[in-house]
């Protein structure tokens, strides 16, 4: 059956590409093996060259917040392309970049007053780390050299960001190339809260791990603490317990340590508030954003930073010793502006909250008593199920089984994209599946997503004869 819209119709006039004909030189394709060829998309669906439709229930990797082929974004890109596609930031600024900067500061958590535009999440994290270090150099505290982050975290794949992340599977073989960083346990109730421990006691204990680490390293030598407000790509949609981040903020303030919140995945509306830290009632010194900022229409990321950081640079050397060729790219800025305007105008954060509630309810109904689902967690349209071999002991499946990859394959066969992640090699969490559909998702589509996911999980486990 031909897809019912122009983009795919045009594409389908060309013969479908086959494995032999195309993309044999693409490394990612060799690694992933056979992949369908995406030729079109509309709303929450993607379409492959065979005409098969897939519900994009993960927004790619929590990217496509507006879905695909949104007319406003397409129009904004055409219009920007007709004016200026590229102007290097050391020669020019552009209206698109200026307007995006204004918009981001207008909507920022209190205290964040400036924006540094880059091309993605890892670049944003690298820039935040370097800004934090240069800030202390400008202030006459060059002895500050330590970065503290958390285990079971992900901050990107470039070397500085990889060193900061606590995902051992991703780091292991690159360890000799990584800068020294320090890690404390995350705030991850399902895995780390003691039986009978209250939220309050657990928040205090989890935050205390940071204070202990700062004291161990010497407070005057610590630059920053880095954390995902709601953990994404390593442990799967893990929200903090109440008051954890208030305590973290207080500890950072006590020792003059900067707080960098990485909202590359959980930010820009994904959890129901524009920034995930708004629900925690705190502001960081730096916040990194990406994915939902441009919704996948262009590669873009940003660092939001506070006035005290900007002033230290302005009153010191007068510049930030960093930069990339494509920063502040006008096409990317125009796309991001159009995405953010559509979210605002169409009140999509209200839909994130409403559909998030429905998703939780449907997941609970389908998996609440499932023998191999240990935890259902998340916020807004950023939720996950964690698979375990044994619900009682929370023992994960053996990593070699790759249960998450099997679920992904089963889901794709059923026309469903979900984002699977494997257990960590330190065994601190198991396989999980992230569900992060576009903010425009409708109630019946939430029901279909959970229905297909349920079938995929059961089929994958059946394959293992589990
Ligand atoms: N930080 C977080 C929290 C992320 O989830 C990711 C990507 N999954 C990154 C940084 C890196 O972003 P990118 O892949 O755009 O470099």
Determine the residue of 117, 120, 128, 156 to mutate for testing ligand 1's pocket, defined as the one with the most ligand atoms within 8 A of the Cβ atom: 156
Cα 300 to middle of ligand 1, angstroms: 11
Tell me the pLDDT tens digit for each residue of 376-418: 999 999 999 999 999 999 999 988 899 999 999 999 999 999 9
> Which residue's CA lies nearest to atom 9 of ligand 1?
156
pLDDT at 424: 65
Shortest CA distance to 128 belongs to which of 270, 26, 260, 274? 260
Query: Among the three residues 288, 313, 345, which one is the final residue of a domain in this structure?
Result: 345
Does one domain contain both 60 and 97? Answer: no
pLDDT at 16: 54
φ, ψ of residue 427 in degrees (nearest 5):
70, 10
Rounded CA-CA distance 457/466 in Å is 11
Inside any domain, residue 1: no
Cα 121 to middle of ligand 1, angstroms: 4
Sorted by sequence, the CB contacts under 8 Å of residue 140 that are 6+ apart come out as none
CATH of the domain at 228: 3.40.640.10
pLDDT at 234: 87
Determine the residue of 162, 265, 284 to mutate for testing ligand 1's pocket, defined as the one with the most ligand atoms within 8 A of the Cβ atom: 265
Ligand 1 atom with minimal separation from the 120 CA: 15
Helices (H), 368-442: 403-413
Whole-model pTM: value is 0.95
Does one domain contain both 310 and 356? Answer: no
Inside any domain, residue 211: yes
Does one domain contain both 258 and 310? Answer: yes
Ligand 1 atom with minimal separation from the 153 CA: 3
pLDDT at 9: 41
In angstroms, the Cα distances linking 78 to 9, 84, 96, 277, 298 are: 20, 10, 13, 34, 13
Does one domain contain both 242 and 326? Answer: yes
Does one domain contain both 174 and 78? Answer: yes
Inside any domain, residue 288: yes
Cα 161 to middle of ligand 1, angstroms: 9
Does one domain contain both 14 and 136? Answer: no
Cα 267 to middle of ligand 1, angstroms: 11
Cα 370 to middle of ligand 1, angstroms: 31
Cα 154 to middle of ligand 1, angstroms: 7
Overall number of domains in the chain? 2
Cα 140 to middle of ligand 1, angstroms: 32
Inside any domain, residue 371: yes
Does one domain contain both 311 and 411? Answer: no
Pocket of ligand 1 (CB under 6 A): 61, 120-122, 125, 154-156, 228, 232-233, 262, 264-265, 290
Query: Among the three residues 298, 318, 345, which one is the final residue of a domain in this structure?
Result: 345
Does one domain contain both 296 and 335? Answer: yes
Ligand 1 atom with minimal separation from the 61 CA: 8
pLDDT at 8: 38
Query: What is the separation of C-alpha 89 from the centre of its chain, rounded to a whole number of angstroms?
Result: 26
- Helix, strand, coil percentages (3-state) for the chain, rounded to 5, are 45, 15, 40
Cα 156 to middle of ligand 1, angstroms: 5
pLDDT at 27: 80
Token pair in block for residue 202: 């657990």
DSSP code per residue over 300-363: -EEEEEEHHHHHHHHHTTSS-S---TTTT-HHHHHHHHHHHHHHHHTTHHHHHHHHHHHHHHHH
ipTM above 0.85, yes or no: yes
Does one domain contain both 144 and 280? Answer: yes
pLDDT at 245: 98
- Residue showing tokens 């918009």: 103
Does one domain contain both 218 and 196? Answer: yes
pLDDT at 35: 87
Q: Which residues of the chain fall below pLDDT 70?
A: 1-24, 29-32, 423-428, 465-466
Does one domain contain both 302 and 380? Answer: no
Q: Which domain holds residue 23?
A: 6-69+347-463
Q: Are 271 and 382 in contact (CB under 8 A)?
A: yes
Sign of CA dihedral 273, 274, 275, 277: negative
Question: In b/e form, how buried is each residue of 307-338, taking b as 16+ CB within 10 angstroms?
Answer: eebbebbeeeeeebeeeeebbbbbbbbbbbbb
pLDDT at 400: 87
DSSP code per residue over 141-178: -TT--EEEEESS----SSHHHHHHS--HHHHGGGGGGS
Token pair in block for residue 406: 């099997």
DSSP code per residue over 102-128: HHHHHTSPTTEEEEEEESSHHHHHHHH
Inside any domain, residue 210: yes
Does one domain contain both 21 and 137? Answer: no
Cα 18 to middle of ligand 1, angstroms: 31
Shortest CA distance to 344 belongs to which of 268, 281, 436? 268
Query: Among the three residues 345, 379, 399, which one is the final residue of a domain in this structure?
Result: 345
How many alpha carbons fall within 13 Å on the CB side of residue 355? 30
Determine the residue of 58, 122, 123 to mutate for testing ligand 1's pocket, defined as the one with the most ligand atoms within 8 A of the Cβ atom: 122
Question: In b/e form, how buried is each residue of 182-194, taking b as 16+ CB within 10 angstroms?
Answer: bbbbbbbbbbbbe
Cα 122 to middle of ligand 1, angstroms: 6
Packed helices 443-463 and 348-367: angle between N→C axes, nearest 10 degrees: 40
CATH of the domain at 428: 3.90.1150.10
Tell me the pLDDT tens digit for each residue of 111-161: 999 999 999 999 999 999 999 999 999 999 999 999 999 999 999 999 999
Angle at 335 between CA 334 and CA 337, to 5 degrees: 65
Inside any domain, residue 109: yes
Determine the residue of 118, 124, 154 to mutate for testing ligand 1's pocket, defined as the one with the most ligand atoms within 8 A of the Cβ atom: 154
């Amino acid at each position: 059956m031909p897809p019912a819209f122009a983009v795919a119709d045009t594409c389908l006039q060309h013969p479908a590409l086959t494995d032999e004909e195309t993309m044999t030189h693409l490394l990612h394709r060799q690694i992933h093996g056979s992949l369908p060829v995406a030729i079109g998309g509309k709303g929450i669906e993607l379409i492959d060259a065979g005409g098969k439709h897939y519900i994009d229930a993960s927004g790619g990797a929590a990217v496509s917040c507006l879905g695909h082929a949104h007319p406003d974004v397409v129009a904004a890109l055409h219009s920007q392309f007709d004016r200026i596609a590229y102007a290097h930031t050391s020669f020019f600024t552009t209206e698109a970049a200026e307007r995006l900067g204004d918009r981001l500061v207008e909507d920022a958590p209190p205290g964040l007053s400036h924006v540094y535009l880059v091309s993605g999440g890892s670049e944003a994290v690298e820039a935040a780390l370097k800004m934090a270090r240069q800030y202390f150099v400008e202030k006459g505290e060059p002895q500050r050299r330590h970065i503290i982050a958390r285990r079971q975290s992900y901050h990107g794949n470039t070397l500085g960001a990889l060193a900061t992340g606590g995902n051992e599977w991703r780091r292991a073989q690159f360890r000799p190339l990584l800068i020294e960083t320090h890690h404390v346990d995350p705030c991850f109730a399902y895995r780390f809260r003691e039986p009978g421990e209250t939220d309050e006691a657990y928040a205090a204990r989890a935050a205390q791990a940071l204070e202990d680490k700062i004291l161990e390293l010497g407070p005057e030598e610590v630059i920053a603490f880095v954390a995902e407000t709601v953990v994404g790509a390593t442990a799967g949609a893990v929200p903090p317990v109440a008051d954890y981040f208030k305590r973290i903020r207080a500890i950072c303030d006590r020792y003059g340590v900067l707080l960098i919140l990485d909202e590359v995945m959980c930010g820009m509306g994904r959890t129901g508030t524009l920034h995930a830290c708004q629900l925690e009632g705190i502001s960081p010194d730096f916040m990194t954003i990406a994915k939902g900022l441009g919704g996948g229409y262009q590669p873009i990321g940003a660092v939001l930073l506070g006035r005290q950081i900007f002033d230290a640079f302005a009153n010191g050397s007068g510049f930030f010793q960093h930069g990339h060729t494509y920063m502040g790219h006008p096409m990317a800025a125009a796309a991001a502006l159009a995405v953010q305007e559509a979210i605002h105008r169409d009140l999509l954060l209200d839909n994130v909250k409403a559909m998030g509630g429905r998703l939780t309810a449907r997941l609970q109904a389908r998996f609440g008593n499932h023998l191999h689902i240990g935890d259902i967690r998340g916020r807004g349209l950023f939720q996950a199920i964690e698979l375990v071999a044994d619900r009682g002991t929370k023992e994960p499946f053996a990593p070699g089984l790759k249960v998450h990859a099997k679920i992904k394959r089963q889901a794709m066969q059923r026309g469903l994209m979900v984002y699977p992640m494997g257990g960590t090699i330190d065994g601190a969490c198991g396989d999980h599946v992230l569900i992060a559909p576009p903010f425009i998702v409708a109630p019946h589509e939430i029901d279909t997503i959970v229905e297909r996911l349920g079938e995929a999980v059961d089929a994958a486990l059946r394959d293992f004869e589990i």
